[in-house]
Amino acid sequence: MSLDDEALAKLLLSIGTRKKWRYYDPIETAKSIDKLSKKYSRKEISKILGVSTEMIREFLNLLTLSDKIQIKIKNREIGIDMGYRISLLKDKREQEVLLSAIIKNNITSDEVKGIIQSLNKNNPNMSMEDIIDIALKYRPIIEEEQIIITKFKKETLDQLLNISKLENINPSIIIKNILGKEFKNSEYILSANLHGQTLIIALKNEGYDILKDKSNKTKININYIIDELISKGLDKYESYK
C-alpha cells in the first residue's frame, strides 16, 4: 500500500520541524507514514519526506499509544515529543497514569524523559504511581541524571545508622563518601537521600556507567549493587575518612 500524489503532498505539508501550519494532525500524519512503511523502509521514507529516521520513528510510535492519549495529541493538547516519550511505556494503563500526572502537575517533556529513561528503566519493579510521586518530589534533579531507588538490607541500614550516630555524620554523607571512593570521583554523585530503608540516589552518567560496570562484573543486579558496595564500605569505613 502506498499514498497517491495528493495524499503524499498533504503529508509533506504536515511533517517537518519548521512548519507553522500542517495539513494533517499528528495522528493522521502517523497513519499516513504507517501506510508508506508497508512499501518502503524507514530510511527510504525519510528521504521521500526529507526528515530524519528518528522523526519517522517518533511519529510511528504515536500509534502505540492508548486511544485516549491519541485523541489528546490529535487535538494538540499534548505535543508530539511528549506523546513519543509516553509511548516508550508499553503498558497502556501506565501510559494513561502518566498522562493524568502530566495534566495535573504540568509535567514537562524533559521530566517525562527522566521518568521513562531513569526511574522506570532503573526500577522496573516499581509502580508508575510510585515513580511519578518520586519524580515530582525530586523535580530539580531528575532531568539529565540517572536516578536509582534501592532498599538497604536491614543489617546494612543498622550498621549505617550506628556509624552515623557514633561519628555524628548524616547517613547520606557517609553513603556519598563510600561511593565517591568507589567511583574515584565524588562529583559523580549528585544527591543521596535516605528515607527509612529506601535510598534515592541521583548520579551523573559517568557514575551510573561505573555502577553498571560493577553490576555486570559481579553479576549483582544494579538495584542491589549499592547495598553491596555500602556494606563493604561500612566494614572499612575508618579507611575512607
Report d(CA 137, CA 147) in Å as an integer: 13
Of the candidate ranges 1-5, 29-33, 71-75, 128-132, the one whose mean pLDDT is the lowest: 1-5
Grid cell listed for 92: 497502556
Give pLDDT, residue 218: 87
Q: Inform me whether the pLDDT recorded for 62 exceeds 90.
A: yes
Report d(CA 25, CA 33) in Å as an integer: 12
Write out pLDDT tens, residues 143-172.
456 778 888 999 999 999 999 998 899 999
Write out pLDDT tens, residues 191-237.
888 878 888 888 888 888 898 898 888 888 887 889 999 998 998 77
Output the average pLDDT for the chain.
84
Give pLDDT, residue 63: 96
Residue 32 sits at φ, ψ, to 5 deg, of -65, -40
Q: What is the pTM of this model?
A: 0.64
Burial (0-12, 13-18, 19+ Cβ within 10 Å), 213: exposed
Extents of the domains making up the chain:
1-64, 88-143, 148-240
Q: How confident is the model at residue 238 (pLDDT cuts 50, 70, 90)?
A: low
CATH number of 148-240: 1.10.1220
Report d(CA 147, CA 55) in Å as an integer: 27
Q: Inform me whether the pLDDT recorded for 175 exceeds 50.
A: yes
Q: List, in sequence order, every residue forming a beta bridge with 191; answer none if it has no partner.
A: 202
Contact by Cβ (8 Å): 232, 239: no
Write out pLDDT tens, residues 113-153.
877 777 777 777 788 898 888 778 766 554 456 778 888 99
